Each structure stands twice: as structure tokens, then as C-alpha cells.
Structure 1
Amino acid sequence: MQTELAPEFQGTADGREAEAILRKCVHCGFCTATCPTYQLLGDELDGPRGRIYLIKQVLEGKEPTRSTQLHLDRCLTCRNCETTCPSGVQYGHLVDIGRKIVDQKVPRPPVESATRWLLKEALPSPLFGPAMKLGQSVRGLLPEKLRAKVPARQDAGAWPTRSHARKVLMLAGCVQPSMMPNINSATARVLDAAGIETVIASEAGCCGAVKFHLNDHEGGKAHMRANIDAWWPMVERDAVEAIVMNASGCGVTVREYGHLLRDEPAYALKAARISALTRDLSELLPELVPVLKDRVKASPGVVAYHPPCTLQHGQKLRNGVEVNLRALGFDVQVAKSEAHLCCGSAGTYSVLQPELAYPLRDRKLGHLNQLQPSTIVSANIGCITHLQSGSATPVKHWVELLDAALRPS
């Protein structure tokens, strides 16, 4: 796609990156077939090809409008289009650039602006934990829509106390320890059973995705630098073999630290090493299966697996969870239709775009429920919370399923 950047973007880092991405796009339209919002709305401007054209117009000097902003806002950033694209267009990076530029030029209505500010400041805040506990204590009194965002209080269980020669770092995350603490402790117990010690750096916090995807790029990068600083002492002396992520939304962001901080002399090399060390928890499964197989007593019933977009499209990791859980004796099945489509969670999307997020959730649950599962599992807290809000069937992280099936050694 031929592009002539406006003078204000020529020579800038965003301009150069956006132009390189745009030149790969051949406008074929294959991406529209797998775009969730295009399937719901049927509007070319609510599909990747249309949004790419809108961003191209802005970069070439056309003034964006409120309509431009809305079409970009409706994008889930699921990156399904990247999986479909035959030309390798890095749409996720392009839409991040486009949204940032449009937000700088188009003021938002006060209520919308305040909501977005509250989300990006509150979710990564140390105050989120106490606020969540308060919400859980009065959960039964909350309005239905708010109750859906406040999961019932969960017992995290015991954290393993054994020390092992093999060690991995794990990002606790910003919302996961408060909303679903058992995911982290279950991860530590499963790895402990395989002779791997899980270490958490207390200074590490939000991966940076919340602020970055709400167009506060500098705020997001500040979180990224803080995490690198927290992890670096152990990484530098090779005290850990990997940085393990049990939330695929965080994982896809940390894997891109090297790209996002590439122009920062003090962090570029460190960020690249952090990204190279990052592994989704599912990537350890092939190694865990032979070690744990004799200790796992798989629960009966069908387990329906929903692969998050951040895992299958963002990190390009497919089939690992279901194949290895089956090897451990679980009857894991994937929906026969639309397993590639987003469930509608998409970080803060379900809060900001509920009129699209909930139909996508119900569509996803419709396919999963056809499997008649006893349990639904996923690999990202956002998907788990969102799906559970509309499901009578328990929705868990797959590692919780494995942890519960482990017999004492």
C-alpha cells in the first residue's frame, strides 16, 4: 500500500514503523473474514482493512474525527487478522500507533475520558486489591452488571515451601492476585511438583498492557521498565531459566518489551533479553507431562478449552494446552466452530464496549456449551472472568484443573 506521510510524521519513530507496516498491506480483505467486530456489525470500517485505511488517511494528513476514533475503539486488538493475513501485516502495532495519534487530535467526551482514566489508573494500583476485597464482601448486594466484574472470593491455597535448583520468575500481575489468587498458587504448586521453584519479584507489577492499550504509552512503558528493573538482578546472574506467564494477555505484552523499548538506550538490550526469556506456562507442559503423568488423576467429564486470542494470535501458540492435557488424561475438547474468534473480554474492552463484548461472549459460550462440558478452561484471567459472568458452568484456568488433579507424591 503506497503511503505519503504528512510532514508531522516524517522521520518520527511512529511514522517510520507505521509506514513500514502499511506498505505490507495489499488490501486483499482476507482479514475481514476473521474479524469479530466486522462479523457483528458488517461495516468495512469496523474491520481491519477499513481501520488500516483510516489510520493511513490520518498519517497522510487528514484530520481524524470522532467517527475515526470510534471505529478504532471498537477494535478488540485480538490480532486474529494477523493470523489470517498472507502478507504479515503487524496490525496490532499499527492500531496502537493510530489510536495514540487520533486520541491526541480528537477530544473525548468527559464521561468517557474519565472512565478510561479510572481504568488505567485503578487497575494497576496497589489500591485495587483492597477495593476488590470490599467489593467481594458485598458482592450479593451489587447491581448485576457490576457483580459480573467482581468474582466470588477465592481461597488461594498453600504456596509451596520447597527449594529447587531449577527456578523461574513469574509475574503475579496487577488484578490476578486479588481476583483469582488460586491461579498463581496453583502454578507454583504444579511447577513445584515437577521440581521447579517459582519466584516472584515483589517490585514487579502490571505488565504495562492496561495503560499502553488505553493510549497512555508512556505510562505503560514506565510499568515495563519497573518490571525489568525488578527482574534484572536474577536475570543478569542467570539465576532463573525463564520468566513464566500464566496470563496470556500479560505474556504477549512482555514478549514485546524488546520491540516497545527498542529505542531506549538504557533498556533496549535488557528488554530484548527479558522478551527472549518469557514463556507462557503452556510452553512448559511438554516437559511437565512425563514427570507428572503418574501423579495426575484426571477428573471425569468433558473439559471445554477456550484458547485466548493473546495466546493463539498474539503469541502464535496453538494446540499446546489441549494436546498436553489430553496426554495427562483429561477429556479436553475445543469448540468445533469459531474457536479462533475472540470471547469479547480483550482487557478493558468489556467495560468500554459492552454492546459488542457481551454478544461475543454469548456467541463463544454457545459454541463451548455444545460440548456439554463439566468445566470450561482458558489461559487468561480476562477471558475467564468474562466467560464466567455469563456461564453456569465453572470457568477456570487450566492450571487450576491440573493442580486439583495432582495426587500427593
Structure 2
Amino acid sequence: MDTRLEEKFKKEPLAIEARRLIKACVHCGYCNASCPTYQLLGDELDGPRGRIYLLKSFLEGRLSAEKVKMHLDRCLLCQGCETACPSNVEYGKLAILGKEIIEQSLKRSFLERLLFNFLLHGIADREKFYFFLRIFNLLRPFLPGALRRKLPPLSKEKVRLEQWARKGRVSQRRLILFKGCVEPVLYPSVLRAARNLFGRLDIDLVDIPKEGCCGALAYHLPNRKKAVAQAKKNIDLWIKPLQNGVEGIVVCSSACCQMIKEYGSLLKDDKEYGQKALKIASRTFDPVEILEKVDRRLFLLAPDRGAVAYHSPCTSQHGLKGQGRVEAFLKALNIKLAPIADSQMCCGSAGLYSLVQKDISQKILELKMKNLLGGNPAVILTANVGCRLQLEQLSPVPVLHWLEYVERLMQEDCCP
């Protein structure tokens, strides 16, 4: 679809790039079958094809910003439509661009701006997040039921915000372990499990003090300026270790992994950081990218355990294009996977979506949970901190990161 830009957009870089991305869409509609909001609401305008048409109409001056904003805000940015699209439309990038263009054309309400600023600065900063989480947990008895369900408890494991050095000799292979802002506060056991599993391969996971948020929260709000600043801060911290023998960066949470892998695209026009960003992106790894290449006998587990349901995050299967990789690794370790209907569908978390689109998010979660429990699993596994928080709201069985589960089983096999 070609877009005839309105005069005011003809020299606007974001609009020009959006026009290029829109042009790839042939309006076939295959994307709607993979879109959670279209499946739930049944509205063409709440599917990828409809949102593309809305944005095209706005850029041509035929539609108000308010109309486009409502339907773009309902988009989960799950990118399931990209996997289904026969024309390879980069819908995720287009939706972010659309949000940025709308933000420049329409001022949000005071309450929306207040909420977004609190989420951006209260969650993306690890120490502030820990502080606010402590306060809200103290106030838990007085909070509304819906908010109590969404509020995660503090981890019982001691939170350690900086060095987690592994004692003993230094291994020949080293990777930076990206900790992020939420996972070390809520689920430090995931990072510990990663250290233990990679330690079996004689790979040291190195800590970089003062690294910050990957930038995903800011990028999706959208706040490109903040996301770029966060990316540059991390690049400055990582580039020297990578030049001095560290192989790359391993990222346990799939949403963060996708964001860091996109640093090259985010900073492609930056003369100072462009090449550094590309290097960082090319040397960022999801844990399965490392573990699937090693001798499985190092991890082989005893058979005949209960079935598990693996929820593959949208960022894993659509963003990182890693559909089926974790499942294949788990099967190779003798872990039985329960069948899941519509396994490609989102759980409704989508970063901050579950907070700003509560009703839609909850309905999508209910459908997802029904499908996950259909095979009577003893545990639900996932690979993203946001998905885990979302699933724990309704799950009657434990929800774990798959690294945690593998490590626990290995400990049981080694020390019955």
C-alpha cells in the first residue's frame, strides 16, 4: 500500500520510514488470525491490517490522531502477525513508529503522563523499583483486589544488586550476564541458575556494575530519547570487556534480549555509537543459543518426570525468531512437554500493557491459562520476566523460568 503523505509529514523522518514499512503490506489479512486483540474483540481496526490502514489514513490527513491512538494503544506489540505475514511486513517497527508520530501530534492526559512517567522511572531503575516494591508490599492489605493480584511479592532470596562473582579459577570462556532492572529484584534465582548451568560448561558469567535497563520499557511507551540514552549507557559499559576477550552477553529475559539485539537498528544513524551498537547486537545471546550447541550429556536428566507446559514468550518466538528452540532443548534433556493449544498466542503481559490495558490483558490471560493447563502440567515454564508475572496471577501450578527448572532437576539427579 502506498501512502501519500500529508504536506506536514513529507519531510518528517519518522513518517517517511513509516511510509516505507506500510508499502510492504498487501492488505491480505493473514495477520488477523494471529492477533490476540482481533481474536478477542473481533474488530478489524484492532488487528494489524486495520491498524496499518488507520496509520496510513492519519499520515494522509484523512483521520484524527485520537482514533489511531486508541487502536494502537490496544496493540500488544507481540509481533505474532510478523510470523504469519507472507509479505514480511515489519509490523513491530511500524507500530512503534506510529506510536511516536501520534505522541508528537496528540498530548496525553495528565493522569496518563503521570502513570507513564512513574512506570518508566519507577521500574526501569532497579534500586527505585526495589524501593517502590517494598512500599507497595507493606500497603498490600489496603490495596484493591485487582492491584493486589498484579503486585508481585518481594523475593525471599537476598537481593544482590551488583557483584555475584563465582569463586575459583577463571574460565577461558567468559560472557557478560545482563541482569536487567526487574529480574534481580523479583527472581534472582534465575540469574543464579544461569550461573550454575553455564558453570558446568566452564563458562564464567561476568557482572558489569551499574548497567541499567535495556531500554525496552522506554522504547515501547514510546520514549525513543530515553531508550537511546539507556542503550548508550550499556554500550559504554560493555564495549571494553568485549574488546578484551569477553565473548558476548547472555540475557535470560527474552524481552531484554530482543531489545539489546535491536541496538544496531536503534542507533543505526548515530555516527559515534552505530558500529558499537551493531557489535553489541551481534554478540548478544539468549541462553538457549549457547546451551543448544553443547554436548547434551552434560545436562541429561532422568526420564519419566511429570509433564511441563512451556509458554514461549512472543519476544522469543516472534521477536527473536526462536520458535521451538527451547522446547527442542528441553525434550533433548528427557523433559516431557504437555501439548498447548494456540501456543503461538500472547499471554497478555506485553511489558506495561497489563497495567494500562487491564481488561483486555486479563481476558487474553484467561484464554492463555486455559490452554496452558489443558495438558495437566505439573509446572509452567517460560523465558520472560513479564510473562512469568502475568501467568502467576492465575496459575494453580508453579511458574518458573526454564533455566531454573533445568537447574533444579539437575540438583535432584545429582543429590537425591
Q: TM-score range by the shorter chain?
A: over 0.9
Q: Report deviation, 1:110.
A: 2.1
Q: Match for 1:316 among 315, 321, 345?
A: 321
Q: Note if 1:326 corresponds to 2:343.
A: no
User: Map of 1:197-276 to 2, 5 A cutoff?
Assistant: 197-237=204-244, 239-276=245-282
Match in the other structure for 1:74? 74
Name the SS of the counterpart of 2:367 in structure 1.
helix
Name the SS of the counterpart of 1:244 in structure 2.
strand
Task: Name the aligned partner's letter for residue 327 of structure 2.
Answer: E
**How far, CA to CA, are the matches of 1:264 and 1:331 in structure 2?**
47
User: Map of 1:1-400 to 2, 5 A cutoff?
Assistant: 1-62=1-62, 64-125=64-125, 126-136=127-137, 139=140, 142-156=143-157, 160-162=166-168, 163-237=170-244, 239-294=245-300, 296-297=301-302, 300-335=305-340, 337-400=341-404
- Whether the 8 Å contact between 2:165 and 2:206 is mirrored in structure 1 is no
Q: CA 1:140/1:297 → structure 2, altered by over 3 Å: closer, same or farther?
A: farther
- Whether the 8 Å contact between 1:169 and 1:242 is mirrored in structure 2 is yes
Q: Report deviation, 1:117.
A: 1.8
Aligned length: 406
TM-score for the superposition, normalised by structure 2? 0.93
**How far, CA to CA, are the matches of 1:289 and 1:120 in structure 2?**
41
Deviates more, 1:174-183 or 1:285-294: 285-294
Task: Name the aligned partner's letter for residue 147 of structure 1.
Answer: R
**How far, CA to CA, are the matches of 1:186 and 1:139 in structure 2?**
29
> For residues 28-78 of structure 1, what are the alpha-carbon distances to aligned partners after superposition, in whole Å with 9 as ceiling and x for unaligned?
111111110001111111000110011112222345332221100000000
**How far, CA to CA, are the matches of 1:378 and 1:317 in structure 2?**
13
- Whether the 8 Å contact between 1:246 and 1:379 is mirrored in structure 2 is yes
In the alignment, structure 2 segments of 5+ residues that lack a partner are 159-163
Work out the percentage of aligned pairs sharing the same amino acid: 37
> For residues 354-381 of structure 1, what are the alpha-carbon distances to aligned partners after superposition, in whole Å with 9 as ceiling and x for unaligned?
1110111110110111110110000000
Q: CA 1:316/1:140 → structure 2, altered by over 3 Å: closer, same or farther?
A: same
- Whether the 8 Å contact between 1:289 and 1:328 is mirrored in structure 2 is no
Q: CA 1:406/1:89 → structure 2, altered by over 3 Å: closer, same or farther?
A: same
- Whether the 8 Å contact between 1:159 and 1:189 is mirrored in structure 2 is no
Q: Find runs of 4+ consecutive structure 1 residues off by over 6 angstroms.
A: none
Task: Name the aligned partner's letter for residue 328 of structure 2.
Answer: V
Name the SS of the counterpart of 1:287 in structure 2.
coil
Q: Report deviation, 1:91.
A: 0.5
**How far, CA to CA, are the matches of 2:12 and 2:51 in structure 1?**
21
Q: CA 1:167/1:334 → structure 2, altered by over 3 Å: closer, same or farther?
A: farther
Deviates more, 1:154-163 or 1:249-258: 154-163
**How far, CA to CA, are the matches of 2:404 and 2:254 in structure 1?**
15
Task: Name the aligned partner's letter for residue 247 of structure 2.
Answer: E
Q: Report deviation, 1:299.
A: 8.2
> For residues 238-272 of structure 1, what are the alpha-carbon distances to aligned partners after superposition, in whole Å with 9 as ceiling and x for unaligned?
x2212111111111111111011101101100001
Name the SS of the counterpart of 1:127 in structure 2.
helix
- Whether the 8 Å contact between 1:156 and 1:185 is mirrored in structure 2 is no
Name the SS of the counterpart of 1:148 in structure 2.
helix
Task: Name the aligned partner's letter for residue 60 of structure 1.
Answer: E
**How far, CA to CA, are the matches of 1:63 and 1:222 in structure 2?**
33
Q: CA 1:45/1:204 → structure 2, altered by over 3 Å: closer, same or farther?
A: same
Task: Name the aligned partner's letter for residue 193 of structure 2.
Answer: A
Match in the other structure for 2:161? none
Q: Report deviation, 1:6.
A: 2.4
TM-score for the superposition, normalised by structure 1? 0.94
Name the SS of the counterpart of 1:95 in structure 2.
helix
